[in-house]
A and B are shown apart, each in its own frame.
Chain A
Amino acid sequence: MASEIEVGTKYIPDMSKTEIEDLRKQFTESSLKVIKDNIDRMKKSWPNRPKEMEYFDEISNLFGKRQQEISEQKQAGKKVIGYTCMFAPIELIIAAGAIPVRVGSGWYDSAKLGDRIMPVEVCPVIRSTVGAKMVHLSPFLELSDAVITPLTCDGRTKLSEILADYKTIWRMSPPRVKDDAHALQLWKEEMMVIKQKIEELTGTKITRENLKEAIEKLQKATKAFRRLQEIRKGPPVITGRDAMLVNQTSLWDDIERWTQKTDELCDVLEKRVEEKDYATYPDTPRVMITGTPMIWPDSWKVPNLIEEANPKGLLAVDEQCSGDRILYDPVGVDEWTMSDMLNAVTERYLMACTCPCFTSDNGNEDRVNWIMDRIKEYKVDGVIYYVVRGCILYAMEYARIKRVLDRMNIPVYYLDTEYTREDVGQMKTRIEAFLEMLEARIDI
């Protein structure tokens, strides 16, 4: 912890209390404005937006109700366990009675601040998280008693040591080759270490009963998520941004309540399918996004541009760890024995993952297959390959994915951007040209 480390050995230089406080206030205000602006824009694009979305609007306020709830539960003795990416076993956290929250950062302002320490070549998701830590901006990171940091890309690997100046960090090393015979074994050992740490922190033993209960909770969430996704395969009764917001709030919301609210939303949407009450005209070009995670709220930049463009696009589906990948795969248990459940959790977090940190002679096969399947299932007209500068793994996989998509005759556009608001004009030009092209293809 901070006090035990001598000043000068830390990454983050000392800042005056007033500077920290000023910046935190300034960033919080700016973030609240972006959150409100995003929601207003989503409402404007979807005039008949159902009132069931209001719940997700409320949870989307990173400095609101959910922060309050977690603070109160923490005061009552609950532990909060943050995680930087989707390799962290949520079921184990919930089984031990702790609160899981994802802490990767989507703030553009704090990315600029992170530049003081990190070179600009570093991915802005990392710089933003560092900047957020510098001024204690992220409520969920600040509330975390420990942070699980899977060492996936280089950015997250080094991020773990920067955060270690302030927080208890639990690293996990995922194997980068899935198919090796020993990969699952290695990962199982990582999983068992994390399990023990969770138990030590919470003082709660993970048992057959509480693990089963946790797995079942997440399975129900997956069911609700898949119900929403099933609806999105049909005519557009929900905008892509709204679906993205629903999916992303599951990262910090109470998962049982989230499941219930998502089911309520699906009830309305299913009715709208029958009533042909659409969120946009039915032949709107259907776009898939793949690549770097798009983290709420500032990274709604590109989704906003796509769904407000002239001609308009519909985000039909994505392949991102900030969206459709979060809840798609359930933990599959054959027999509810402790060992079977732990094996199932281990498998779920390794085998189902399509992160570009994996490699094989055939590349990241699971990701390629995921993309191809989704294109067919969701009748995708074109793919936007979204990469922020410094996101090397996604940038490198583009060449192969592009060739696969060319063979499928699916247009793909490589959209590279930064954590900045200044390139909106350029982005708009490129996105509109791409959508114009998709529309022309639909017309033919």
Chain B
Amino acid sequence: MISAGIDMGTQRVKVAIIKDKQVIATAQNFSGFEPAAVAQQTLNEALEAAKLSREDVAHITATGAGVDMATFADSNISMMGADAKAGAYFFPSVRTVIDVGAEDARAVKCDEYGIMQDFVVNARCAAGAGTFIEAMARALEVDLEEMGPLSLKAERASTINASCVIFAESDVVSLIHREEPKSEIARAIFDAMAERVTSMVRRLGVTPDLALVGGVAKDVGFVAALKRRLGTEILIPENPIFAGAVGAGLVAARRAKRRQ
């Protein structure tokens, strides 16, 4: 049986096609200004990659901040519910899933079946999410992709006091004026961000194993900083950005089965 999950993220729309509990195709696009049209297009691209048509899909479940824009979906699931499902799917030993996306971060506790047990979100403060890295990369005049590798070159971190994006930016500017190495500033930026995420995860309680998903899980600088702060290993799936879509797709499969 074939199902699909669509994750309507604030920055990207992601689709995963699931067949017999295996991910057989994925697709992603920037959400842009017409997320509803992008959703349709992304679904079509994923179906094409899987050499399937819409009729082959038994159930589509949507998730993400723009969930209501995926009008063709058969059902919805919360982002936390999708994260829990995906975390336990990628790594059966995982009990805590941390998801850091473009605009928000969250952490979910799950059981072996991927059922959510508890969750915390940080949606108020951009300093714990991907856009923070973007803003800081701009201030440092470094490509976004370069930020992570750059930070790994530093042996120490500069000091950023502010945990708010706006104030952190002015901190960074004064560090540049003091001619501190960019690598050390970059490391300080990831440390500040990891600090936000860590305090959020600690509110939930750190139950191993931990998995990190979401677009920011691709950033080596952030991953290194988070490991330092949490003092533990963190599992990262091959395509962390698709976690929400995969989780939703797995839920879709279960719901389709229930309906049969």
Q: Does B76 sit within 8 A of A, measured CB to CB? A: yes
Q: Which residues of A contact B117 (CB under 8 A)?
A: 411, 437
Q: Majority SS of interface residues in chain A?
A: helix
Q: Which residues of B contact A437 (CB under 8 A)?
A: 80-81, 115-119
Instruction: Out of B65, B78, B115, B124, name the residue touching A432 (CB < 8 Å).
Output: B78
Q: Does A68 sit within 8 A of B, measured CB to CB? A: no
Question: Is B76 a contact partner of A426 (Cβ separation < 8 A)?
Answer: no
Q: Which residues of A contact B78 (CB under 8 A)?
A: 429, 432-433, 436
Q: Does B139 sit within 8 A of A, measured CB to CB? A: no
Question: Is B81 a contact partner of A411 (Cβ separation < 8 A)?
Answer: no
Q: Does A440 sit within 8 A of B, measured CB to CB? A: yes
Question: Is B81 a contact partner of A436 (Cβ separation < 8 A)?
Answer: yes
State the CA gap A314–B172 with chains docked (Å): 48
Q: Does B123 sit within 8 A of A, measured CB to CB? A: yes
Question: Is A411 a contact partner of B118 (Cβ separation < 8 A)?
Answer: yes
Q: Does B77 sit within 8 A of A, measured CB to CB? A: yes
Contact string against B for A residues 276-315, beta-carbon threshold 8 Å, 1 for contact and 0 otherwise: 0000000000000000000000000000000000100000
Q: Does A430 sit within 8 A of B, measured CB to CB? A: yes
Q: Does B121 sit within 8 A of A, measured CB to CB? A: yes
Given A411-B118, A440-B115, the answer on whether A433 and B123 have CB atoms closer than 8 Å is no
Question: Is A436 a contact partner of B116 (Cβ separation < 8 A)?
Answer: yes
State the CA gap A443–B118 with chains docked (Å): 16
Instruction: Out of A310, A433, A434, A440, name the residue touching B79 (CB < 8 Å).
Output: A433
State the CA gap A440–B255 with chains docked (Å): 13
Question: Is B121 a contact partner of A430 (Cβ separation < 8 A)?
Answer: yes
State the CA gap A429–B80 with chains docked (Å): 9
Q: Which residues of B contact A425 (CB under 8 A)?
A: 65
Interface size bracket, B side: 10 to 19
Q: Which residues of B contact A434 (CB under 8 A)?
A: 119
Please report which residues of chain B, range 75-95, place their CB below 8 angstroms from some CB of chain A when the two chains form the complex: 76-81
Given A310-B76, A426-B123, the answer on whether A433 and B65 have CB atoms closer than 8 Å is no
Question: Is A433 a contact partner of B81 (Cβ separation < 8 A)?
Answer: yes
- Interface size for A (C-beta < 8 A) is 13
Could you tell me the distance in whole angstroms from the C-beta of A158 to the nearest C-beta in chain B?
Answer: 26
Could you tell me the distance in whole angstroms from the C-beta of A440 to the nearest C-beta in chain B?
Answer: 5
Contact string against B for A residues 400-444, beta-carbon threshold 8 Å, 1 for contact and 0 otherwise: 000000000001000000000000011001101110110010001
Question: Is A429 a contact partner of B65 (Cβ separation < 8 A)?
Answer: yes
Question: Is A433 a contact partner of B76 (Cβ separation < 8 A)?
Answer: no
Contact string against A for B residues 120-157, beta-carbon threshold 8 Å, 1 for contact and 0 otherwise: 01011000000000000000000000000000000000
Could you tell me the distance in whole angstroms from the C-beta of B243 to the nearest C-beta in chain A?
Answer: 15
Could you tell me the distance in whole angstroms from the C-beta of B203 to the nearest C-beta in chain A?
Answer: 8
Q: Which residues of A contact B115 (CB under 8 A)?
A: 437, 440, 444
State the CA gap A377–B77 with chains docked (Å): 31
State the CA gap A436–B63 with chains docked (Å): 13
State the CA gap A310–B81 with chains docked (Å): 13
Could you tell me the distance in whole angstroms from the C-beta of A102 to the nearest C-beta in chain B?
Answer: 31
Given A411-B118, A429-B65, the answer on whether A436 and B123 have CB atoms closer than 8 Å is no
State the CA gap A440–B115 with chains docked (Å): 7
Nearest opposing residue in chain B for A309, CB measure: B78
Nearest opposing residue in chain A for B67, CB measure: A429
Nearest opposing residue in chain A for B203, CB measure: A414
Contact string against B for A residues 251-274, beta-carbon threshold 8 Å, 1 for contact and 0 otherwise: 000000000000000000000000
Q: Which residues of B contact A310 (CB under 8 A)?
A: 76
Q: Most chain-B Cβ atoms within 10 A of its Cβ — which of A432, A433, A434?
A: A433
Nearest opposing residue in chain A for B64, CB measure: A429
Q: Most chain-B Cβ atoms within 10 A of its Cβ — which of A310, A425, A432, A437?
A: A437
Nearest opposing residue in chain A for B65, CB measure: A429
State the CA gap A411–B108 with chains docked (Å): 13
Q: Which residues of A contact B77 (CB under 8 A)?
A: 436
Q: Which residues of A contact B116 (CB under 8 A)?
A: 433, 436-437, 440
Could you tell me the distance in whole angstroms from the C-beta of B66 to the nearest C-beta in chain A?
Answer: 10
Nearest opposing residue in chain B for A432, CB measure: B78
Q: Which residues of B contact A430 (CB under 8 A)?
A: 121, 123
Nearest opposing residue in chain B for A443, CB measure: B115
State the CA gap A436–B115 with chains docked (Å): 10
Nearest opposing residue in chain B for A427, CB measure: B123
Could you tell me the distance in whole angstroms from the C-beta of A322 to the nearest C-beta in chain B?
Answer: 25
Please report which residues of chain A, range 114-143, place their CB below 8 angstroms from some CB of chain B when the two chains form the complex: none
Q: Most chain-B Cβ atoms within 10 A of its Cβ — which of A411, A429, A434?
A: A429
State the CA gap A427–B245 with chains docked (Å): 22
Could you tell me the distance in whole angstroms from the C-beta of B101 to the nearest C-beta in chain A?
Answer: 12
Contact string against A for B residues 34-71, beta-carbon threshold 8 Å, 1 for contact and 0 otherwise: 00000000000000000000000000000001000000
Contact string against A for B residues 220-247, beta-carbon threshold 8 Å, 1 for contact and 0 otherwise: 0000000000000000000000000000
Q: Please give the residue numbers on chain B whose beta carbons come within 8 Å of chain A beta carbons, in ascending order.
A: 65, 76-81, 115-119, 121, 123-124
A–B Cβ pairs within 8 angstroms, 10 of them = A411-B118, A426-B124, A429-B65, A429-B123, A430-B123, A434-B119, A436-B116, A437-B80, A437-B118, A437-B119
Known: A430-B121, A434-B119, A437-B117. 13 other contacts (CB 8 A): A411-B118, A426-B123, A429-B65, A429-B79, A429-B121, A433-B78, A433-B79, A436-B78, A436-B80, A436-B81, A437-B118, A440-B81, A440-B115
Closest 9 CB pairs of A and B: A433-B78, A433-B80, A426-B123, A437-B116, A436-B81, A440-B115, A436-B78, A432-B78, A430-B121
